[in-house]
Chains A and B, each alone.
Chain A
Amino acid sequence: MRTESHGRHFVGITILLVDDEEKLRTSIALRLQLRGYETVEAANGHEAIQAIRSRSNIHVVVLDQKMQGSDTSRVLADIKQLRPDIPVILLTGLGRLDPSIDPSRKDYFSFLEKPCDLDDLIQTIEDACRLHLQHPPQGERSSPPDSRKRRSGG
């Protein structure tokens, strides 16, 4: 289902939601759809990889950090290997990054704490897409320039 989006939003962004909590996943999906986003749902790492493989139009992945039966760091690495250009947003209930994920590798775009405000999630998704569009992937992902930081530093 598609509705007219707000003017400030990117239109036609497809988001892959990966979470083993079905109720949570469907609610988020429904609310994102209400705001004009395309969603694809996956209940575990395996389904997520399947979705990445079968669909070329996924722009952002929102990945739950702790799922029954899935090794998130493995899933993250697999996604990055298949599609290094897709930014991944991690959702965590632990209040911190899972120790198995190496933050220095910059495999993920950002991580948000559960429960998170939908507006924050949308903002992060928008930021990720904007960055992605400004810097289309060329093999290895370079570190994104931060204009604000440069300005304040200069």
Chain B
Amino acid sequence: MAPLSYPNPRSYKDPVLRSERYYQQLRQRQILRLMLTYLLPLVVLTIYFAFQYNRLLVEIGKTHLKTIAANQADTLDLFLRERIINLSNLIDNPKLQLPSTPSAVHAMLKTLRSNSEVFVDVGFFETDGIQTAYAGLYPQLEKRDYSRESWWMALKDGKDHFVITDNYLGFRQKPHLTVAVSRTINNRYVVLRAALDSDKVSRHLAKLEPSNEVYTYVVNNAGHYQIVTSPTGSPLALAPIVPPRTPKLGAEEITVGGDRVYYGYSWLRLCDWALIVCSTKDLGAFSAGGPFINLFAFSTIVIFLIFSIIIFRARRIVQQVRQTDEAHAELSDTLLQASKLAAVGELASGIAHEINNPLAIINEEVGLIKDMMNPEFKMSQSFEDIRPSVDNIQDAVSRCREITKRLLAFVRRTEMNLQPYDIHEVIDDVLKGFYAHELAVSNIEIIRNYHNKPLRISADKIQLQQVFLNLITNAADAIRDRGRITISTWPKDGRVYAAINDTGIGMTQEHLDKMFLPFFTTKAPEKGTGLGLSISYRIIKSLGGSISVASTLGEGSTFTIDLPLLDEHSKPKVETRPVPTAALKL
């Protein structure tokens, strides 16, 4: 007997439409994916370039500060050198009369004042350390001994014939600078000293500043202000910035009182001073009013635009997926109907055989009754003799009706009435309704190994009952003499599992392979049509579940159904919860 080639029901694509939640998640995933693809590189690049740009701006700013510092230091060097030259010109004058007279010294001061207004006074030293002649605002300084003054000793011991002192108070108790030149004239050590007004030097320096974006001051090597051009400090006070000794020229950044300060510096050549040019504002791009405020505003707008496009795109993609899914569902629905029709076509010859056999029986039994009625054959015509034939006809009609009924159930497209149910309730209804009597009289023990809580599923109760009815019937049929059917339920990973295990005869591999095929049966022709499992398979598939089978020949079979577990929020209002005993006592 050649097996007929039935289409495998496992290849049917069931049109199960995806849930709204699926599309929400898909949209979120799409948005995330598109953002990662488009926005993330943009943001990363923007930040990278922002930092690079910031660094560049700071470097340019520092170079600018360094240039200003170098220029101003050169100017200050030149200014101080000019003052020394002013003094040198006086002392090197061939007409210089020694010892000098007060009038000569006043003439010298006049000359110096004409050179530069920063000169305060002038003094002449012909003997060691004693100011022999003086002209200026502090006449009490005449005849004063300067031999213990540091500048005097520096001038006398130094190789250079000049000295420029730090800003100091000195005998007059007023901040000033001292410049002095020494010569040896007619074997006499002669020194010409002049005081410079540090305020006026400051004003001179202030005139050099190109803009109000920087301020300039001069510190000595100990960090004391020497020349200050802004109200940030007073002469001789300690400055917050002491530039490094090397290199001679540079630009640095430090934090003063929580503010970042950029400065350029240059050490003077003539004396141990550093000229410092501070920026009045943050050089970086991120400062208030910096270029990046605009850039960030622009970037934010661009990012917002891209974000809008991404959300729009994600919506479109999800919409397209949904349309495709719907079209696919529609198509597979059509295909399902078509494949059902094809299956029916394929099955026609199989069914023909199934139906033609009982029809042949009816035919022969009717013929037999006719023969009995035929006087020619001289047979008994009593009802008792005819009865077996009538019974056979009745049975054959029942067989035909069963086949057509199952066939229609297989082909019919039914609307499912989905409701939430506890799976235990469905199984119990089947056991009570259909099996209470049948199983009690047979030697089959039913064991309910249920999960301790209700397991909620969405199903058409009638259809699901049909599935359990089929599976329990199969289990009962597999048990030849006496045995046990165990029904277990448990939840796992958001699904509900129900297993029906029997201690029956089990199945061969061939039976396992073919059992979901329509009209495949191992039962006697009058006991089964072979449609039960294939219908069960279709019902479970349409509920978004699956059926699996494990079987050992001679030991029994286990059919396991899994269905989606209903979400927590769709729990029934009334929950059976154990009442705490403590509360009861109160």
Q: Is the CB of B367 within 8 A of A118?
A: yes
| Residues B63-101 near A (CB distance < 8 A) | none
Does residue A123 face the partner (Cβ distance < 8 Å to B)?
no
Q: Is the CB of B377 within 8 A of A34?
A: yes
How many angstroms between the C-alpha atoms of A115 and B360 in the bound complex? 4
| Residues A40-89 near B (CB distance < 8 A) | 66-73
Partner of B359, one of A71, A72, A99, A114: A114
Binding-face segment, A8-16, A24-32, A132-140, A146-154: A24-32
Q: Is the CB of B365 within 8 A of A27?
A: yes
Q: Is the CB of A93 within 8 A of B360?
A: yes
Q: Is the CB of A115 within 8 A of B1?
A: no
How many angstroms between the C-alpha atoms of A73 and B356 in the bound complex? 20
Chain B 344-374 per-residue mask, 1 if CB under 8 angstroms from chain A, else 0:
0000010011111101111111011001000
Q: Which residue on chain A has the smallest CB distance to residue B359?
A: A115
Does residue B392 face the partner (Cβ distance < 8 Å to A)?
yes
Interface residues of B (CB under 8 A from A): 1-2, 349, 352-357, 359-365, 367-368, 371, 377, 379, 389, 392, 395-396, 525
> Chain A residues near B355 (CB, 8 Å)?
93
> Chain A residues near B389 (CB, 8 Å)?
27
> Chain A residues near B377 (CB, 8 Å)?
3, 34
- Tell me the minimal C-beta distance from A109 to chain B in angstroms: 19
- Tell whether A24 pairs with B1 under 8 Å between CB atoms, given A31-B368, A115-B356, A118-B367: no
10 examples of A-B residue contacts, CB within 8 angstroms = A21-B357, A23-B392, A23-B396, A27-B361, A28-B364, A34-B377, A93-B353, A93-B356, A114-B357, A118-B364
Knowing that A21-B360, A93-B355, A94-B356 touch, tell me 18 more A-B residue pairs with CB under 8 angstroms: A23-B396, A24-B357, A24-B361, A27-B365, A27-B389, A27-B392, A67-B1, A93-B352, A93-B353, A93-B356, A93-B360, A94-B352, A95-B349, A114-B359, A115-B356, A115-B359, A116-B360, A116-B363
Q: Is the CB of A27 within 8 A of B364?
A: yes
> Chain B residues near A3 (CB, 8 Å)?
377
Q: Is the CB of B2 within 8 A of A98?
A: yes
> Chain B residues near A98 (CB, 8 Å)?
1-2
Q: Is the CB of A114 within 8 A of B360?
A: yes
- Tell me the minimal C-beta distance from A66 to chain B in angstroms: 5
Does residue A130 face the partner (Cβ distance < 8 Å to B)?
no
How many angstroms between the C-alpha atoms of A115 and B357 in the bound complex? 7
> Chain B residues near A23 (CB, 8 Å)?
361, 364-365, 392, 395-396
How many angstroms between the C-alpha atoms of A64 and B364 in the bound complex? 15
How many angstroms between the C-alpha atoms of A9 and B462 in the bound complex? 59
How many angstroms between the C-alpha atoms of A102 and B390 in the bound complex? 39
> Chain B residues near A68 (CB, 8 Å)?
1
How many angstroms between the C-alpha atoms of A99 and B360 in the bound complex? 22
Partner of A30, one of B2, B353, B360, B368: B368
How many angstroms between the C-alpha atoms of A73 and B392 in the bound complex? 30
How many angstroms between the C-alpha atoms of A93 and B358 in the bound complex? 10
Q: Is the CB of A66 within 8 A of B363?
A: no
Interface bracket on A: 20 to 34
> Chain A residues near B367 (CB, 8 Å)?
27, 31, 118
Q: Is the CB of B361 within 8 A of A31?
A: no
> Chain B residues near A95 (CB, 8 Å)?
349, 352, 356
- Tell me the minimal C-beta distance from B361 to chain A in angstroms: 5
Q: Is the CB of B349 within 8 A of A24?
A: no
- Tell me the minimal C-beta distance from A45 to chain B in angstroms: 9
Q: Which residue on chain A has the smallest CB distance to residue B378?
A: A3
- Tell whether A72 pairs with B1 under 8 Å between CB atoms, given A3-B377, A30-B368, A66-B353: yes
Leading 10 A-B pairs by shortest Cβ distance: A93-B356, A27-B364, A115-B363, A115-B360, A93-B353, A114-B360, A114-B356, A100-B2, A115-B359, A94-B349
- Tell me the minimal C-beta distance from A73 to chain B in angstroms: 8
Q: Which residue on chain B has the smallest CB distance to residue A27?
A: B364
How many angstroms between the C-alpha atoms of A73 and B3 in the bound complex? 13
Q: Which residue on chain A has the smallest CB distance to residue B350?
A: A94
Q: Considering residues B2, B360, B365, B396, which has the most beta carbons from chain A within 10 angstroms of its beta carbon?
A: B360
How many angstroms between the C-alpha atoms of A121 and B443 in the bound complex? 47
> Chain A residues near B359 (CB, 8 Å)?
114-115
How many angstroms between the C-alpha atoms of A117 and B525 in the bound complex? 23
Q: Is the CB of B353 within 8 A of A24?
A: no
> Chain A residues near B2 (CB, 8 Å)?
71, 73, 98-100
Does residue A96 face the partner (Cβ distance < 8 Å to B)?
yes
> Chain B residues near A117 (CB, 8 Å)?
363
How many angstroms between the C-alpha atoms of A66 and B363 in the bound complex? 18
Q: Which residue on chain A has the smallest CB distance to residue B392?
A: A23
How many angstroms between the C-alpha atoms of A93 and B365 in the bound complex? 17
> Chain B residues near A114 (CB, 8 Å)?
356-357, 359-360
- Tell me the minimal C-beta distance from B5 to chain A in angstroms: 10
How many angstroms between the C-alpha atoms of A34 and B380 in the bound complex? 13
Chain A 103-140 per-residue mask, 1 if CB under 8 angstroms from chain B, else 0:
00000000001111110000000000000000000000
- Tell whether A96 pairs with B361 under 8 Å between CB atoms, given A66-B1, A114-B356, A118-B367: no
> Chain B residues near A94 (CB, 8 Å)?
349, 352-353, 356
> Chain B residues near A99 (CB, 8 Å)?
2
> Chain B residues near A30 (CB, 8 Å)?
368
